[in-house]
Amino acid sequence: KNLLRGILLESRRQVAPLGPNLNRKRRVSPRMGASHLVSNPPPGRDKGLPLTLLYLSQGSLGLLGLLIIAHQRLWPVLLLRAPWEVVLGYGLGSGLALVLMFLGLYRFLLRFLSPNLWVDEVNLCLVELLTFPHVVGVTAITAVSEELLFRAALQTLAMRWLPAGWAIGFTSAVFALFHFRYWSRPILLVLAFVMGLVLGGLYWYTGSFWTGVASHFVYNFAIIILAQRGFFPREKEANRAGGPV
């Protein structure tokens, strides 16, 4: 009896802190027609999983690129292979040029085309989760991983069998189609193809895939910062701003 009594007392001590949580208010959901407990998830739980998946998905692209490079013995493509001032100059300059091109096109899109052709709600939601260190981290890993796969690996292989122009075009098409969310956003799909042409051209002209990494980083970083400042409206906001429905 004493042993049983001790077990019961100990179990009550462990359960007691949970007691207040069992008395949470209930609210009836008008959609579900059923009651649900109202609770607030711990800070960071909601955004931790999407950020982890984002890093893993982008990192896996870089790993795939490295595996192709290793299998085909393409290790020299990972070297700088151009003066650093050329890499930084062309990379930063082309990245800023891409940003300005997109901002100019954005004015046209907002005024004349339906938002469902070019507004990417998923990207806008992901951007809201990023603190500044994550902006730098995600932008860096995206630029390095995608350039490893599409330029250092795929474009290098394509240029073995195709003329440079055709190889750049082919790799740019693969790069654009890889952004599968853009399949229902044709304007964004075309923009991804154009960006692929620019990045592929930089790799071919300078001989260094790091030029594309610098350009890719500058473009993504600037667009994310502008999005966090509310520069790009959501689809409903774009409709209210005067874009056709």
For residue range 25-54, list pLDDT tens digits in order.
444 333 333 333 333 434 444 456 788 888
Q: Is the distance from CB of 192 to CB of 175 less than 8 angstroms?
A: yes
Span 123-147, pLDDT tens digits: 888 888 899 999 999 999 999 999 9
> pLDDT band for position 238 (50/70/90)?
low
Rounded to two decimals, the pTM is: 0.76
